[in-house]
Amino acid sequence: MNAPILRTKNELLAFINKLDSRQDLGLVPTMGALHNGHKSLIQASIQDNPHTIVSIFVNPTQFAPNEDLSTYPRSLEQDYALCDELGVSAVFAPSVEEMYPSAQGAGALCDSALDEVRLLPPKSMGYVLEGFARPTHFAGVLQVVLKLFMLTRANNAYFGQKDAQQLLLIKRMVRDLCLPICIHGCPIVRDEFGLALSSRNAYLSDEERVQALRLHQALESIKQAYNQGITAAKELQNIGIKVLNNMDIEYLEIIDENLALIEDLRQGGGACIVVLVVRVGRVRLLDNLWLEPN
Ligand code: AMP
């Protein structure tokens, strides 16, 4: 085992100060319970950068009080073994108190316990779709990601397209705050049946796992229809809804990179993203499809 586990900001800074500052440093922020989706981000970073740091931190400020912070899967030893096997330079796994000075002695670690300088996402991006269901979520994500960027001073950071809205918001933060870091979006990794990998899939029963496959099937039907020339969002949505049949769909929308709804995919020049959330049992399953203009 070669990669150190850094537990404090000081250990991280000491480690970074020993690196050659002319060489690129890649950062892969995660909440642990690593799977092949995370692995693909780590591999992308290792390929691009002489040094890669993986952070493992279940960030309390992005969980609302009624969410699964206390039960979120944690497996630091296995995660560390994977990172080491892949050849990362270091794993940064801080405590909550280390990341949030105002949590010292606060006891409750939820958002309201942390009275810190905060960033707010733009209204048009932070409070729709995922942000509508989870209105405090993205402020918490931006807060921790900005801290990780400042602490590591990485040149490159890797995020999954799986969390499309998160990826777009982080890109927006980097643009708006002129942060000297390049954000790389990496494709969704799926299991052999098409289910997008997620740490929360662990909450699915066998039966729910089978139902969950319909998300990918719905997105694939939309892709097929789009490739056959259908570009009206309503029509594409209906094709997806039909495949999802009686499932509990929270939303199925087609958006651009500013998270604006698209009515017809011929409009605009950039990527169109079909974003989908379906509740299966007690799990909210997220999936999406990135369509480049035809
Ligand atoms: P998390 O540990 O859930 O915070 O995820 C850490 C990073 O891994 C985020 O950038 C996610 O978008 C990314 N990620 C999670 N699942 C996948 C997946 N199935 N494919 C690609 N990236 C993923």
- What pLDDT is recorded for position 62? 94
Specify if 265 maps to a domain.
yes
Specify if 135 maps to a domain.
yes
Same domain membership, residue 45 and residue 116: yes
Ligand 1 interacting residues, C-beta cut-off 6 A: 30-31, 37-38, 40-41, 159-160, 162-163, 186, 188-189, 196-199
Report the CATH number that the domain containing residue 221 is assigned in CATH. 3.30.1300.10
Tokens read off for 87: 């050849």
Same domain membership, residue 57 and residue 29: yes
Q: Which residues are catalytic?
A: 38
Same domain membership, residue 45 and residue 153: yes
Q: DSSP assignment, residue 290?
A: E
Q: DSSP assignment, residue 232?
A: B
- Tell me how far the alpha carbon of residue 285 lies from the centroid of ligand 1, in angstroms: 13
Those residues with Cβ within 8 angstroms of residue 206's Cβ, 6 or more apart along the chain or in another chain: none
- What pLDDT is recorded for position 270? 82
**Residue among 34, 148, 159, 284 whose CB has most ligand 1 atoms within 8 A, to mutate:** 159
Specify if 192 maps to a domain.
no
Q: How far is residue 166's CA from residue 172's CA, in Å, rounded to a whole number?
A: 10
Name the residue at shortest CA distance from atom 12 of ligand 1.
Answer: 160
- What pLDDT is recorded for position 267? 81
Cα 91 to chain center, whole Å? 18
- Tell me how far the alpha carbon of residue 196 lies from the centroid of ligand 1, in angstroms: 10
- What pLDDT is recorded for position 43? 98
Q: What is the mean pLDDT of each run of 10 residues along the chain (294 residues)?
A: 93 97 97 97 98 97 90 94 98 95 63 75 97 96 98 98 98 98 98 96 95 98 97 97 97 96 86 96 96 76
Is-contact 96 60, C-beta < 8 A? Answer: yes
Ligand 1 atom, smallest distance to 41 CA: 22
Same domain membership, residue 56 and residue 125: yes
Report the CATH number that the domain containing residue 73 is assigned in CATH. 3.40.50.620
Q: DSSP assignment, residue 97?
A: H
Same domain membership, residue 171 and residue 211: no
Same domain membership, residue 254 and residue 119: no
For 30-61, b/e burial (b = at least 16 CB within 10 A) is bbbbbbebbbbbbbbbbeebebbbbbbbbbbb
Looking at this protein, which amino acid is placed at residue 169? L
- What pLDDT is recorded for position 113? 52
Tell me the residue range of the domain where 264 lies. 199-291
Question: What is the dihedral angle through the alpha carbons of 54, 145, 292, 259, rounded to the nearest 10 degrees?
Answer: 160
Specify if 191 maps to a domain.
no
Is-contact 264 233, C-beta < 8 A? Answer: yes
Which helix (H) or strand (E) segment is 149 a member of? helix 137-152
Specify if 274 maps to a domain.
yes
Ligand 1 atom, smallest distance to 159 CA: 10
Cα 74 to chain center, whole Å? 17
Report the largest interatomic distance among the alpha carbons of the chain, rounded to a whole angstrom.
59
